[in-house]
Amino acid sequence: MPTNPILVVHGGAWAIPDDMVEAHLNGVRNAAAAGWRVLERGGSALDAVEEAVVVMEDDETFDAGRGSFLNRDGKVQLDAFIMDGATLRGGGVGCVERLRNPVRAARKILSDSTHVYFVAEGAERFAAEQGIELCRNEDLIIPREVERLREYQAQAETHASHLFAPEISHDTVGAVALDREGNIAASTSTGGTLNKDPGRLGDSSLIGCGCYADNQSAAASTTGWGEPIMKLVLAKWAADRVAAGNLPAWVAKESMNYLKKRLNGHGGIILLDANGRFGIAHNTPRMAWALHTAEKLEAGTERTN
């Protein structure tokens, strides 16, 4: 019996300023629409989350793909992961500098490699071998982020301890989906944190931390301060609690409470199980999100479900 598809996306959890809210809402709506077109025609959850994330990687509003934060050396370094809940196959790239859409490379790893992970030059070489065009790192850099890094480094003495504060953008993007066949999938993509040390890897591309999917539990994508999320393996933590019989809406909220209580961390999560039950939660002032079902496309920056 066919399942009613559902798609949930996020575009980062932080203190999104009022003048940036509309750009974030447009971005997550566009991503949800792209993913939904896949699901509507009977496509897979895996294809849907990939297409949704690509849209946000291409949108300079978000910290993913072109327009991402710059690291300490003034370069863009990108991470992404994608996972299939039906097979537990996953693909991830870390610290790539010449890929416009790292989620495309991650998907190729999932489908065409015996490995799960490639990083840096090895990831770029694999992508090129699979027919994915490489770009210059300069093509991923925009003036807004050059200025942001310059301002931050000029005030490094006073800002150093606040690098991960909710006021500093955490525009990591992600998507979770359920298709007509009853399979779920998840993907997360990011440019990491402002002024990060070269080679730093966050939670987004780490299986079970920033992304996870298993038909027997849930699909999850997180955003926010990566280090605490990694330490708690938060996406898998949340999925396990859904598997134990808890509703995703409750688990999403509880995962944010857990993040705050254990490590004073902040962020957001989207969670979806194979029955179409979902959760959206964050412990930051705002999180950009969108929900697409056959009945509606809904988007917002605050959620209490």
Give φ, ψ of 158 to 5 degrees: -85, -25
Cα torsion 60, 64, 70, 73: sign: negative
Looking at residue 174, its pLDDT comes to 98
| pLDDT score at 143 | 97
Give the residue carrying structure tokens 């790192």. 137
Q: Which residue is it, tokens 């959620």? A: 303
Q: What is the reported pTM?
A: 0.96
Domain 6-300 has CATH 3.40.50.1370: no
Decide the pairing of beta strands 211-213 and 219-224.
antiparallel
Q: Are strands 117-119 and 90-96 parallel, antiparallel or unpaired?
A: parallel
Which position among 3, 61, 87, 172 bears the catalytic label?
172
Domain borders along the chain are 6-300
SS (H, E, C) the chain: CCCCCEEEEEEEEECCCHHHHHHHHHHHHHHHHHHHHHHHCCCCHHHHHHHHHHHHHCCCCCCCCCCCCCCCCCCCCEEEEEEECCCCCEEEEEEECCCCCHHHHHHHHHHHCCCCEEEHHHHHHHHHHCCCCCCCHHHHCCHHHHHHHHHHHHCHHHHHHHCCCCCCCCCCEEEEEECCCCCEEEEEEECCCCCCCCCCCCCCCCECCCEEECCCCCEEEEEECHHHHHHHCHHHHHHHHHHCCCCHHHHHHHHHHHHHHHHCCCEEEEEECCCCCEEEEECCCEEEEEEECCCCEEEECCCCC
The answer to whether 193 is a known catalytic residue is no
Q: Mean pLDDT, consecutive 10-residue segments, the chain of 305 residues? A: 91 93 97 98 98 98 96 97 98 98 98 97 98 98 95 75 62 96 98 94 96 98 95 98 98 98 96 98 96 96 68
Cβ contacts of 150 within 8 Å, gap of 6 or more: none
